[in-house]
Structure 1
Amino acid sequence: MSAFEITRDGAVAQLKLSRPEASNALDLSFWRDFGPALRALDATGEVRALVISGEGRNFCAGMDISVFSCGAIMKTDTAAERQAFHQAARELQDTLTMIERVRFPVIAAVQGACVGAGLDLVAACDLRLAAVGAYFRIEEINIGMMADVGSLQRLPYVLPEAVVRELAYLGTSLSAERAERLGFVNAVLPDSGALAAAALEMALAIAAKAPLAISGSKAAVTYARDHTVAEGLEWAAVMQGSIWNTADILAAIQARMMRTSAEFAPLAPLAGFGTAAD
């Protein structure tokens, strides 16, 4: 049984974590299937936005205990076991990094608990919405571990450092309301129904924009996060030259003048190199 379900309606895709009986804890099937699923969506060139949500009361309770039963994760007694541990950790990291690598924006719609690996996941998303009562927590410190799948690396770019240290050291919860005040969450909605509607509305608004401009903007923001301003400006100049599309610009201007919706060509399909091994 898959850990999630994917549906598509035109240019908008939705990925719903579908293990509500386990509060959508991320089991081995999730870590095996998530990266290839995102690559497959991106490969079509037709998806312009993705909403990730969780079925049931909680968005995600973190890493499922089954993952920790893997020998490569648990054993670090020998040099070979430590190397295998390192490789396994990198594969988990790469799975969530795929959220940043796909060409379309990814929106997290969070209700209830979003802890541990769930927080790692939403930290990699482009936009985050939450329902009243939702909360975020670096759970690993509460079970004797350092978080290692992305929260400690990405959160300092979207939350004040002192708050990240508070979460990392104390294992306390960050409420949706405080997360919004601090800029981590884009909006807090009154309930799960309003949350789903707002996430879909946001995705549809993104899907109505020129796909090349959206994908370029996503790549530019991510690149700027990891480089100097000068490097980011140079990169943006090169990127703009590579994705400049007069047809998209004219279509957007004409639609604006006529007060209609513009029609844009989809992104080019990806060649799919390396997907056969997934």
Structure 2
Amino acid sequence: MSAFQITRDGLVAHLRLSRPETSNALDISFWREFGPALKALDAAGDVRALVLSGEGRNFCAGMDISVFSGGAILNTDTPAARQAFHQSARELQDTLTLLERVRFPVIAAIQGACVGAGLDMVSACDLRLVSQEAYFRIEEINIGMMADVGSLQRLPRTLPDAVVRELAYLGTTLTADRAERLGFVNAVLPDPETLLAAALDMARAIAAKAPLAVAGSKAAIVHARDHTVAEGLEWAAVMQGSIWNTADILAAIQSRALKQPGEFAGLAPLATLVTPTD
């Protein structure tokens, strides 16, 4: 059984974690399938926004303990085992980093618990909406380990340093209201149903914009996070020259004037340069 289900509504895709009986803990099937699924959506070129949600009471309870069964990841008794551990950790990190690399924005719709690897995941999303009872926690410190799949690297870019240290050292809970005040989430909705509706509305609004401009904006924001202002400006100038589309600009102006949906150039499908093997 898959750890998630993907549905489509025109230009909007919806990936829903589908193991509510485990609070959507991320099992081995998730880690094996999530990356290829994101790559496939991106490669098609016809997705303009993705909503990421979870079934049931909680968004995600973090890493499923079954991922560690057999001891392969946990074994660090020899130099070779430590090298393999490092490689496995990098593969988990790269899987979630794909949320930043796909060309379309990803909107996380979060209810209930979002802890451990779930927080790692949503920290890589573009936008975050939550229901009133949602909460976040760096759970790893509460079970004797350091978080290592993205929270400690991305949260300092979206939350005050002192708050990240509080979460990382104490394992305390970040409530929905506090997360909104600190700018980590875009809005707090009253209940999960309203939350999902708001996330899908946001995705449809993004899908109505020129996709090349949206993709370029996402790439520029991610680049700017990790570079100086001067480097970001130079990169943006090169990117703008690459994606400038006069037809899209005229279509956007006409759309606003006529108060009608605009017709924009779509993203090109990505060439398949490497054929997956079983």
TM-score bracket, normalised by the shorter chain, equals over 0.9
Task: Tell me the equivalent position of 2:84.
Answer: 84
Q: Post-superposition shift, 1:57?
A: 0.1
For 1:40, the aligned partner's letter is A
What does the per-residue CA deviation read over 1:6-54, in whole Å, with 9 as the maximum and x for residues that have no partner?
Answer: 0011110000000000000000000000000000000110000000000
Task: Tell me the equivalent position of 1:136.
Answer: 136
Q: Post-superposition shift, 1:71?
A: 3.0
Aligned length: 278
Q: Post-superposition shift, 1:272?
A: 2.1
For 1:41, the aligned partner's letter is L
State yes or no: 1:162 paired with 2:162.
Answer: yes
Q: Post-superposition shift, 1:275?
A: 4.8
What does the per-residue CA deviation read over 1:227-260, in whole Å, with 9 as the maximum and x for residues that have no partner?
Answer: 0000000000000000000110011111111111
For 2:45, the aligned partner's letter is G
For 1:208, the aligned partner's letter is A
State yes or no: 1:200 paired with 2:200.
Answer: yes
Matches within 5 A, 1:94-243: 94-243=94-243
For 1:64, the aligned partner's letter is D
Aligned-residue CA RMSD (Å): 0.8
Give 3-state SS (helix, strand or coil) of 2:145's partner.
Answer: coil
Q: Post-superposition shift, 1:72?
A: 2.6
* TM-score scaled by length of structure 1: 0.99
Structure 1 gap ranges (5+):
none
The runs of at least 4 aligned residues of structure 1 exceeding 6 Å deviation read none
Structure 2 gap ranges (5+):
none
What does the per-residue CA deviation read over 1:208-241, in whole Å, with 9 as the maximum and x for residues that have no partner?
Answer: 0000000000000000000000000000000000
Task: Tell me the equivalent position of 2:51.
Answer: 51
Q: Post-superposition shift, 1:261?
A: 1.0
* TM-score scaled by length of structure 2: 0.99
Aligned equivalents of 1:25 and 1:260: distance in 2? 42
Aligned equivalents of 1:275 and 1:235: distance in 2? 31
For 2:95, the aligned partner's letter is T
Aligned equivalents of 2:62 and 2:159: distance in 1? 20
Task: Tell me the equivalent position of 1:273.
Answer: 273
What does the per-residue CA deviation read over 1:85-114, in whole Å, with 9 as the maximum and x for residues that have no partner?
Answer: 000000000000000000000000000000
